[in-house]
Chains A and B, each alone.
Chain A
Amino acid sequence: MDKAAIIGIGMTKIEARRDDWTFADMAFEATRKALEDAGMTIGDIDNVITTSNDFWDGRTISCMAVGDASGASDKNVSCVEGDGTFGALYGLARTLSGSYGTTLVTAHSKGSQSVSSLITNAAFDPIYNRALGLDMIGACALQASAYMHRTGTTARQLAQVSVKNHGNALKNPVAQLGMKLSVDDVLKSEMIADPLHKLDCSPVSDGCCAIIIANEDRAKKYKGKPVWIKGVSMCADAYFFGDRDLSTAASLSKAAKQAFAQAGINDPSSQIDFAELYDAFSYQELMWLEGMGLAGDGAAGKMLEEGAFDIGGKLPVNASGGLLGGHAVIAAGLYRIAEVVRQIRGEAGAYQVKKARTGLAHGVNGLAGQSHCVWILGKDK
């Protein structure tokens, strides 16, 4: 792969509800922050990718409604429907095509404006599944049951993920939901769908994230410290929920393997310094770590209890607070990329991890991890 870097990031504060913002207002704020961060003006941006979902935005062609605010006026702009990591992958491909030296990628979501269970229910097959009313929480509860049954991972271990990530979120100024919790607090919170308690579930939030990708030549031209893209891959599992082995993340294993190979990583658990991954529900942090080979199969719960994934641990995971700390649905994966950039630059303040040379960012699209996108970012070119 030719070299490319992330040279600017902009994150709005993730919040429960922002009635003072339209989608375009959020995109404008994130875009301006990213440009300022990179030391660029909008004239330095060669093309734009916006990332959104029409159901979540309550309108068709939702991507076009944020074009002007994303600086796309008179530019080649295209869009991705899905998680921000997938939008960023398209942005990277456009940069590497040679047609564009720089690409601005935005992803936005306002969970506050809709009924989230109706929207995630609509992701199910309308002929066989949707009428039975399953939504994302129910789907992920089914997956959590299958994962816990197969691996012996316990409810206390799930709760410990929630304690860690809500605690980390207290240190991150852009996080929504910082909380000091105990394992018992999580286990005593309302049972939503067995085995998931309320505090095992992330909120559905408002937020927008923007990043700027540049090719090797352009990466050196601006004031921002480039963070280099070492490997990126995605992979999708079967569409029908019942076709999948819900207790494993086969498509994630494939995506991670390809991304590691591109980055020249042959021993991920020693060569990846930290990770920001898609913990929409507590169990997912453990399941995804195992799927990526950063923990042995069924071993992540024990490593968590031993503190391995704490900010000061062997492999800090979601030092930012992750999705449990704030989950602007479509933007969530792009926030993970921006948080990894922050760590590698050494700018994460109270949640800075000690060793941050090589980091992993991860995004999910579809129900209960149907498709995964894995990014390996590094300080060194």
Chain B
Amino acid sequence: MAENEHIVIESGEAAQPFNYAVGMYGSRFFKELRENKKIMGVKCPTCGKVYVPPRGVCGPCFQEMKEFVEVGPGGVIGTYTILRFAFIDPETGHQKPVPYGYGFIKLDGADTLFQHYIDLVDEKKVRIGARVEPVWANERKGTIKDIQYFRVVE
């Protein structure tokens, strides 16, 4: 054995399966996506801020939120990036083909930004402030991928 040989042990195919409860707010959100192609937010009764995705508490007000409001489906790009390095897709364990776009989108009627993919058909049009709309999956399962991606519209 070479003196400078240092042994490394691999974890192999070990996995840690986990079930995430999406809760009451998430269930409503995903059902509306799946059944009605609607994007739902929730409004704070104190400050009036509309949050997407919906959740039970407005952090700054420490206030319970119960009023669901429909937002979007259109909006504008708040910020974006174009991924050009191949990383491992956590869903599949395989490298995702590059390039592809990511946006944080200010949906109409919302006060927070919503994360999704942005189509790169015309890369030059992907800019902060560009108007976008969702492209829906044909077969919707009640997950964030019921929206395939957002595309820039004129």
Chain A residues proximal to chain B, CB less than 8 Å? 19-20, 58, 115, 117-118, 121-122, 126-135, 137-138, 141-146, 149, 190-196, 238-243, 246-247
Contact = CB atoms under 8 A, between A and B. Distances in A.
Nearest to B25: A127
A117 B7 CA distance: 24
B62 interface: no
Q: 3 nearest interchain CB pairs? A: A242-B113, A141-B81, A19-B6
Contacts of B53: 127-128, 240
Given A131-B145, A133-B91, A242 B81 contact: no
A132 B115 contact: yes
Contacts of A243: 51, 59, 112-113
A126 B20 contact: yes
Given A138-B102, A142-B104, A121 B90 contact: yes
Interface of B: 4, 6-8, 11, 18, 20, 22, 26, 51-53, 55, 59, 78-85, 87-91, 96, 102, 104, 112-117, 128, 143-145
Given A58-B11, A127-B22, A133-B89, A246 B115 contact: no
Nearest to B14: A58
10 contacts: A117-B87, A117-B88, A121-B90, A128-B115, A128-B144, A131-B145, A137-B87, A149-B79, A192-B83, A240-B53
A242 B85 contact: no
Contacts of A122: 90
A20 B88 contact: no
B153 to A, nearest CB: 20
B8 A19 contact: yes
B81 A142 contact: yes
Given A129-B115, A133-B96, 13 more contacts: A19-B7, A118-B88, A126-B18, A127-B26, A128-B53, A133-B87, A141-B83, A145-B79, A146-B79, A192-B85, A196-B81, A243-B112, A246-B78
Contacts of A191: 84
Contacts of A132: 102, 115-117, 144-145
Contacts of A240: 51, 53, 55, 112
A368 to B, nearest CB: 11
Nearest to A113: B8
Contact of A145 (B81, B87, B91): B81
A133 B89 CA distance: 6
Main secondary structure of the interface of B (DSSP, over half): loop
- Most central of A58, A128, A246 by chain B CB within 10 Å: A128
Contacts of A138: 81, 83, 102
B144 A131 contact: yes
B39 to A, nearest CB: 11
A380 to B, nearest CB: 39
A116 B106 CA distance: 29
A106 B114 CA distance: 38
Contacts of B116: 132
Contact of B90 (A118, A137, A141, A146): A118
A58 B12 CA distance: 12
A133 B112 contact: no
- Most central of A130, A145, A191, A196 by chain B CB within 10 Å: A145
Given A131-B145, A135-B87, A143-B79, A149 B128 contact: yes
Nearest to A58: B11
A238 B59 contact: yes
Contacts of A128: 26, 53, 115, 144
Contact of B82 (A126, A146, A193, A242): A193
B85 A193 contact: yes
B115 A131 contact: no
Contacts of A115: 88
